[in-house]
Amino acid sequence: MRIARFSTGEGVAFGVVEGAQGEEFISRIDGHPFGAIQFTGERYPLQEVRLVAPMLPSKVIAVGRNYAAHAREMGGEPPAEPLIFGKPSTSVIGHGEAIVYPHKLSERVDFEGELAVVIGRLCREVPVERAHEVIFGYTCANDVTARDLQRKDGQWTRAKGFDTFCPIGPWIQTELDPADLAITTTVNGDLKQSARTSQLLHDIPKLIAYITDVMTLIPGDVILTGTPEGVGPLEDGDEVSVGIEGIGTLTNRVVPRD
Amino acid sequence: MRIARFSTGEGVAFGVVEGAQGEEFISRIDGHPFGAIQFTGERYPLQEVRLVAPMLPSKVIAVGRNYAAHAREMGGEPPAEPLIFGKPSTSVIGHGEAIVYPHKLSERVDFEGELAVVIGRLCREVPVERAHEVIFGYTCANDVTARDLQRKDGQWTRAKGFDTFCPIGPWIQTELDPADLAITTTVNGDLKQSARTSQLLHDIPKLIAYITDVMTLIPGDVILTGTPEGVGPLEDGDEVSVGIEGIGTLTNRVVPRD
């Protein structure tokens, strides 16, 4: 099932997306999509609504250097244990919303295409073998990063924490085996990143066990699983797309901050 | 005005604390304390209610090495610009709640007493001279840190992100000049940290301008302004108190994780 959030101009709601590409429609859900779903009966062609971020997470926990080739392109070795960091909830945007380039503060803003996991249950200290029970679904994400500030600060919070620096979407796919999916990032149609999720150094059950040994996750929280090699810069006007097999494609345009 | 959140056993509410030390009572507020406050008429002796975290922030942004003597005791020089990092909302607890020591993962958990700022308005790109307009009030905080994991990971998210590692309270003081307040931390009554907020390298208006140049803050968000020198370890059973002149004292006991 594909769960989206959308606006019709009369407020924002969750909905279920059905139909083939280019012919999708969206059926509105009463309330939130955790637990049994109740439809309101309202149904719209997807092209007539505006998608927004498919979830408003209380927190986004991301994983650094979780593909070996990317760890090396960043000038280091992959870490033995997952390296986690946070992105603020205010950085989240949806498919079709603009990534705002803060030129006053950064001269190098990079894309990082990633598979994202959306949590479905309040959980802590989840064993690896039960991690699947707390997963609601999967979506595409772009861990947008001011690379110059990441290097300058040491801590990554500022570089990765700007408003609009966490596009997720276009929707959450709830039925998917994430073990070996093709993931690509394109900028203006040019292929920049291409990998498979089977190359993740620490797989999703390991990440969930590792993170929930530290902190409680709540429904809607998002885990970004790391980016493959091929990260590179964005410029004003660029259109960046993260596509994942079995999910769909997340596209965002880059605009300068006023 | 002192704004607290409390439980009477019949749910949690905001309230206003009045009266002299040891004789305080709390008057319940209808809804939240942002904007005009409406009292419900219910009033309890403070000793008969249980205080919880005075705010549930959407995010906690903290500042590293913001007192020169602490930067040096950590083996570095104070940074020219504020060094920001995040603590997850799930790490927040209130006065009287337990700090849970994760012995399985860390052998060194430290206290860090700090002045915290609570944001009152949705804001971004706030100029220094208007920072006072977005402040709701001030409270005491303890930026509890697994020092060994902080050193090991490089990124501070895990070390500072454990559940219960962000005590704040006991309440929010909304009328206070934060420029030169005494701040102390004691463990089992022994004085460990003693400084004045006038020693902050980057003052509160600067921090608000710096952070909101990156990310939007929303009502209830909390900024931890940094810890002075004298940080040190906690052990099971310890009682740690952060006291700030004009606010009050935040006390928490340390217990082992099961």
Q: Residue A77: is its pLDDT beyond 90?
A: no
pLDDT at A8: 86
Flag whether residue B59 sits within 8 Å of chain A, measured between CB atoms. yes
pLDDT at B60: 98
| 3-state secondary structure (DSSP) of residue B50 | strand
Between these two residues, B88 and A20, which has the higher pLDDT value? B88
Q: Residue A78: is its pLDDT beyond 90?
A: no
Q: Residue B8: is its pLDDT beyond 90?
A: no
Contact indicator for B124, B229 with CB cutoff of 8 Å: no
Q: Both B67 and B193 in a single domain?
A: yes
Q: Do A88 and B154 touch (CB under 8 A)?
A: no
Q: Residue B75: is its pLDDT beyond 90?
A: no
Q: CATH code at A43?
A: 2.30.30.370
Q: Both B26 and B97 in a single domain?
A: no
**pLDDT digit string (tens) for B188-217?**
999 999 999 999 999 999 999 999 999 999
Lowest mean pLDDT, pick from A212-216, B80-84, B132-136: B80-84
Q: What is the mean pLDDT of residues B100-115?
A: 98
Q: What is the mean pLDDT of residues B16-41?
A: 95
Q: Do B155 and A218 touch (CB under 8 A)?
A: no
pLDDT at A47: 94
Closest CA to A162 of A91, A84, A113: A91
Structure tokens at A218: 């709540």
Q: Both A103 and A148 in a single domain?
A: yes
Query: A256 vs chain B: nearest CA distance in angstroms?
Result: 14
pLDDT grade for B10, boundaries at 50, 70 and 90: confident
Q: Both A77 and A165 in a single domain?
A: yes
Q: Both B224 and B124 in a single domain?
A: yes
pLDDT at B70: 87
Q: What is the mean pLDDT of residues A13-39?
A: 95
Strand A83-87 relative to strand A145-146, pairing:
unpaired
Q: What is the mean pLDDT of residues A69-77?
A: 86
B39: β partners: B29
Q: Both A114 and A187 in a single domain?
A: yes
Q: Both A32 and A143 in a single domain?
A: no
Q: Do A154 and B154 touch (CB under 8 A)?
A: yes
Closest residue to B83, CB basis, from A61, A155, A162: A155
**pLDDT digit string (tens) for B44-54?**
999 999 999 99
Q: Residue B79: is its pLDDT beyond 90?
A: no
Q: Residue A61: is its pLDDT beyond 90?
A: yes
Query: A165 vs chain B: nearest CA distance in angstroms?
Result: 10
Last residue of a domain, one of B52, B69, B87: B52
Contact indicator for B210, B200 with CB cutoff of 8 Å: no
Last residue of a domain, one of B30, B52, B74: B52
**pLDDT digit string (tens) for A122-174?**
999 999 999 999 999 999 999 999 999 999 999 999 999 999 999 999 999 99
Flag whether residue A85 sits within 8 Å of chain B, measured between CB atoms. yes
Question: How far apart, in whole angstroms, are the C-alpha atoms of residue B148 and residue B146?
Answer: 6
pLDDT at A46: 96
**pLDDT digit string (tens) for B118-146?**
999 999 999 999 999 999 999 999 999 99
Write the burial class of residue A169 (CB in 10 Å: 0-12 exposed, 13-18 middle, 19+ buried). buried
Flag whether residue B75 sits within 8 Å of chain A, measured between CB atoms. no
Q: Residue B114: is its pLDDT beyond 90?
A: yes
Q: Both B100 and B153 in a single domain?
A: yes
Give A220's contacts in chain B (Cβ within 8 Å). none
Alpha carbon of residue A6 to chain centroid: 17
pLDDT at A22: 87
Quote the mean pLDDT of chain B.
96
Residue labelled with tokens 């962000």: B166
* ipTM of the complex in this document: 0.96
Q: Both B77 and B198 in a single domain?
A: yes
Q: Do A161 and B91 touch (CB under 8 A)?
A: no
Question: How far apart, in whole angstroms, are the C-alpha atoms of residue A194 and residue B228?
Answer: 47
Question: How far apart, in whole angstroms, are the C-alpha atoms of residue B98 and residue B241?
Answer: 12
Where b means 16+ CB within 10 Å and e means fewer, A173-203 reads bbebebeebebbbbbeeeebbebebebbbbb
Structure tokens at A50: 């505006």
Q: CATH code at A109?
A: 3.90.850.10
- Looking at the 3D structure of chain A, how many domains does it have? 2
Write the burial class of residue A107 (CB in 10 Å: 0-12 exposed, 13-18 middle, 19+ buried). exposed
Interface with chain B: mutation pick from A155, A164, A166, A223, highest number of B CBs within 10 Å: A155
Residue B173 belongs to domain spanning: 60-256
Angle value at C-alpha B103, between B98 and B108, nearest 5 degrees? 90
Instruction: With 0.95 as the threshold, say if the pTM is over it.
Output: yes
Contact indicator for A167, A250 with CB cutoff of 8 Å: yes
Q: Residue A199: is its pLDDT beyond 90?
A: yes
Quote the mean pLDDT of chain A.
96
pLDDT grade for A71, boundaries at 50, 70 and 90: confident
pLDDT grade for A197, boundaries at 50, 70 and 90: very high
- Which amino acid is residue B234, in one-letter code? L
Last residue of a domain, one of A32, A52, A72: A52
Q: Both B106 and B231 in a single domain?
A: yes
Q: Both A99 and A16 in a single domain?
A: no
Distance separating the N- and C-terminal Cα atoms of chain B? 39
Q: Both A134 and A81 in a single domain?
A: yes
